[in-house]
Every structure is written in C-alpha cells, then in structure tokens.
Chain A
Amino acid sequence: MIWNPLIGKYGSCIMAALLFAGTLQAQAKSFLLQFRHRVGTAPLVKDSVYANSFAEPFSVHSFKYYISHIQALDAAGKKLEALSGKVFLVDQSDTASTRISLAALPAGTVSVRFLLGVDSTYNTAGVLTGTLDPLNGMFWTWNSGYIMAKLEGRSPASKAPGNYYTYHVGGYKPGQQTARWITLPVNNRQTLYVAANVLKWFNGKHDIMIAAQPVCHAPGSLAVLLADNYAEMFSVINEP
C-alpha cells in the first residue's frame, strides 16, 4: 500500500477543496444579460408602427438574432474567461429567450464581449440541434449557412409584395461575413440591461432605406451593410 499514505495525506485536502468549490458555486451570484428591444428609446411592440430616420413608417413582425461566444474582458480588453459555450437565439416573440443567465463574472471584469451571430465552424458542421436546429428558421437550406439576425415587418415604403421588408442577414465566407463582435461595459453590474435598437438597422454605419432595399434573403453586399448597421444596435441601459 505505497499509495495509501499519499492519498491519506492529500485526500482530505481534495475532499475539502471539492466541498469548498461546491459551496462557492452555490453562493456565487450569476451574471444576467437582459435584452430589451427598442425603437429608439421606445419599447418595440410587435406590429406597431414606427418611423425610421428617413421618415419611412414601418412595423416589426419578427426580430431575432444569435448570440454566441460570450466572454468577460479585463480593463485592457483581454479575455479573462468564456462565460458560456452555448449559442443563444434571442427572439422578440419569446420573452424567456431575451434573458441569458450566466456564471458569475471573474474578478477584474470590466466589459463583456459576444459575437452577434454564429462562427464559421457551426456553418459547416452539418445539422445541429437546439437553438442551431435548422427548423428555427434561421438557416438557409439552398446556400448552407445560418441567418445571423432577422428583422421582418411591413412598410408602405416597401414596393416588395405585401409591402413587406424582410432582412435575413447571414454569410460566413470571406467577403460575406456578417457575424459581428459586440463589446459592452459592465460597471460592476450583476444584471446588464442591453438595448437592441432596431432603428440602427436602417441608419447605423450605412443608410439603408426600405424604399431602396426592402429585401435581403442571401449573403452578399447588402447583408454585409446590414451587419455593419446591426453591429451598432446594442447599448447598455439602466433598468427598464
């Protein structure tokens, strides 16, 4: 029994450490990301009519997007820790999906970063499950790849059938990439309320008028412009 004294010596320490870790986990407060969908500063209400900065009236019927690679960053913007390995689908029509509960932030966290969209690995991995199941309507079957974000509704400015405007934004290949990194300050908050302002889709880095571009259903230049715009839609707000 050569190993006996060894385990005897360290075994209790291991057990104690395990117990301590368990207690810590039970005590540790989790970090919560709460998405709030907005039109400017007003709450987004399904099928209500708003106007964008070009005075185009529009309503929103569907608004959803993927969030992945949520990470905690330090003051220098360096990754401290991955907060989740999951891919979340935030959907305006499903309140539960706007609330993402994560492990507590590591000490020294100054900001959080996440990818709006899913990375190229998932885009080439065949059929996946859960939020990445193609049946969620966020996947192009004729041109393999995920729709990173989707904004759909109606606008009299749209000359498309039914006056619909439908922005299905995706693309992961070089030159067509539509996933965007988003970094938000935390300021010691346990719950971060993040506004997603749909007005930015029309007027962010680029001007995109519904009258001129009512439809985006494929990867490509329009999708990239829309992605540049939605990259600017998030901001931290005080409690609603």
Chain B
Amino acid sequence: MRGAAVILVLIMATGMASSFIARNKPRYGTTPMAMPIPKGWPQPVYNFRENQPTREGFELGRRLFYDGRLSKDGNFPCAGCHQQFAAFATFDHSLSHGVDNQLTTRNAPALFNLAWQKEFMHDGGVNHLDLQPLAPLTASNEMGETISNVLQKLRADKQYRRMFRAAFGDTLINTQRMMKALSQFMLMMVSADSKYDKVKRGEAAFTLAENLGQQIFNRKCASCHPPPFFTDFSYRNIGLEPDGTLADSGRMRITLDKRDAYKFRVPSLRNVKVTAPYGHDGRFFSLADVFSHYRQQHTTMPGVDSLVKNGIPLSNFEIGQLTAFLFALTDSTLLSDKRFGLPPGMKEAQFPDPQNH
C-alpha cells in the first residue's frame, strides 16, 4: 500500500511538472525563418541556436533598423547610413554623418552576408553581430544615444510592446532582445543573386568583357577578394596615406600591435557598383580612383601589404574588363527586396538638413 501511495505521489508530481512545463512553453506563435545558405557556401559563423530568426523577430528588427528614435535627435536611424539601394552602405558619402552636424572618421560599410562574418567594423573591433549596432548607437558622433534612453522610448511605445511580445513572448524590452531582433533582420540580408551567382548556377552567361574581367580578377584580385564573399575577411594595409585629420590607425587600435597600423578589413566586392565611395574613409569616389591607386607603387609607407606594395599592373583595357566583371557582382534582388525596405506605415526619418546630409 505504501508503495502505491508513493507511486501516486510520483505520478502526480510528474503530471504537475509536465503541466508546468506546458504552461511555460512559449504561448506566442512565432513563425521560424530559415536562414538561406547558398549552395556551395560554408556554414555561417553566427550562432543560430542562441537566436533563431522568426518572422516576428525579423519584423521587429526591421522596424528598429528604420526607427530614428534609436538616435539622440530622432533623425539618424540605422537606415540613415545603411541605405538599401546602396547595398546598405551610404550613397555618395565619403565619411558618415552623425548627430549635431558631425562627421565620423569612416565610410559606412555595406551590410550583407553578415552571418558569415566573425568580426565587425573596419577595424574588426566588434566580436559579435548582436553587439555591433551598439557601437554606432552610442558613439557621440554617430547616433549619439544611450542604450537606456532608447529602451525607454521603445517601452513607451505600444506598438513596440506588441512587437516584442510577438517576437519574444512577453513585453519585456531589454538590450539583448533589441539586439537579437536587429540581428535577425540583418542576418537575412544575404547577397547571392548577382549575375555572377546566376552564371555559377548555370542560369546566365557572362558577356565577353565579363568573362575576360573574371580571368583578370582571378589573377590579380582574388587572393584578397576570393569568392563567394569576395573578401577573405583579413586586415591589410593597402598603402593609404594616413589622413592626419582622422587619426585612424585601423586594426592597431584593437590589437595594439604596431604591425597592424593602418590595416583595415578587406571589403567584399559584392555590390561594389552601388557602394561608392570606397576605402575605409571613402577617399576614392570611383572605381577608377581605386584602380589608379592599385597601379601605383606604395614603397614609401612602411607596412604595406606585399601584394600591393609594388603596384598591380593593370592596363586601361584590363580595367575596362575588370569593371565589367565587378558590375556583374551587383545583386539587384537584395537591392530591391521589399522585405528589407521601410516597414509599411512607417515614415522615413527626416534628416535635419537634407541638402547637407
């Protein structure tokens, strides 16, 4: 009898435990989003176990990305410097602009294929995608805001409370959730549908110029800009004379190693047609400027990468073919995908002085 009583207690306990678990399962119905991994690409480095993208999280991240309230004066959303039509770089701006008529010291990088990137910023100072947006958000010459202020603004907004609940199960709004939602949105920005990709998949054919350009590219550019990302994610000194007004030592700022002075991350060349100006400080306004830089010798400045130090021989003819190939890396699907645009019903943040911006 005593045994039976114990069993009964155990059964009841088990039952209670399982109903407890059932009650605490997320009641909210999220729709998981699969991370697109293009054929032949390596596995992403982003840890999806910690942050599984959902339709609801993505939409929340999208709203945050376009919301000026993430900045001090309400005029500088993420999307201010990361414009979709420019592959989420800034169209026609060398140095990015910040609050209170300030210039930053760097050119806004394009955003795509971030799930495969280990480190962020031109100097690789940020070690996790979830952390990255905190850098521009809190920098006094960028969005100039504090995390606490942003969270306060979001908590006061009924729609955000609703969206956080939809994405995470309750209305708790904290730094981690805000950043995870932004990551969910940005992770989906996969660029793998350029003409180059279509040729790879057998859906299109290169023109003669593109074909010749690819051959030149493979010989003279691909060691630092290898496909499929068109960057090896390394940091290199390509002989850009330091600009005293910027005082930017690049990678050395993070590693404190003198050998890393003036090294910056090799940028992806995907969508290069729409991401001008070029260089970490946007000093090159056109591809022609970039090619002419690489044609020159860079022997006076110490520490220049051996691959570019003596100049890369490029004839005018080759530059033409190369340009044709580089233009075939433009992914019009990413640039026009409505999922990544301003959310419906949301107004674009107004810059204080559109003429100057």
A residues lining the B interface (CB < 8 Å): 4-5, 7-9, 11-12, 15, 123-129, 133-135, 139, 141-145, 176, 219-221
B-side contacts of A134, CB under 8 Å? 131, 134, 147, 175
Are B176 and A128 closer than 8 Å at their CB atoms?
yes
Q: Among B3, B128, B174, point to the contact of A124 (Cβ < 8 A).
A: B128
A12 to B4, CA, bound (A): 11
Are B7 and A141 closer than 8 Å at their CB atoms?
no
A-side contacts of B9, CB under 8 Å? 15
The 7 closest A-B pairs by CB, nearest first: A8-B3, A11-B6, A126-B130, A135-B147, A144-B127, A126-B128, A141-B134
Are A127 and B126 closer than 8 Å at their CB atoms?
no
Does chain A have a CB within 8 A of B121?
yes
Contact status of A135 and B254, CB under 8 A, knowing A4-B3, A127-B176: no
Are B256 and A4 closer than 8 Å at their CB atoms?
no
A-side contacts of B175, CB under 8 Å? 127, 129, 133-135
Residue of B nearest to A4 (CB): B3
Are A12 and B6 closer than 8 Å at their CB atoms?
yes
Are A7 and B3 closer than 8 Å at their CB atoms?
yes
Does chain A have a CB within 8 A of B157?
no
A142 to B104, CA, bound (A): 13
A-side contacts of B50, CB under 8 Å? 126
Residue of B nearest to A128 (CB): B176
Best-surrounded residue of A139, A143, A176 (most CB of chain B within 10 A):
A143
B-side contacts of A128, CB under 8 Å? 176
A8 to B2, CA, bound (A): 7
A152 to B284, CA, bound (A): 42
Are B6 and A144 closer than 8 Å at their CB atoms?
no
A34 to B115, CA, bound (A): 44
A154 to B180, CA, bound (A): 38
Are B256 and A220 closer than 8 Å at their CB atoms?
yes
Does chain A have a CB within 8 A of B179?
yes
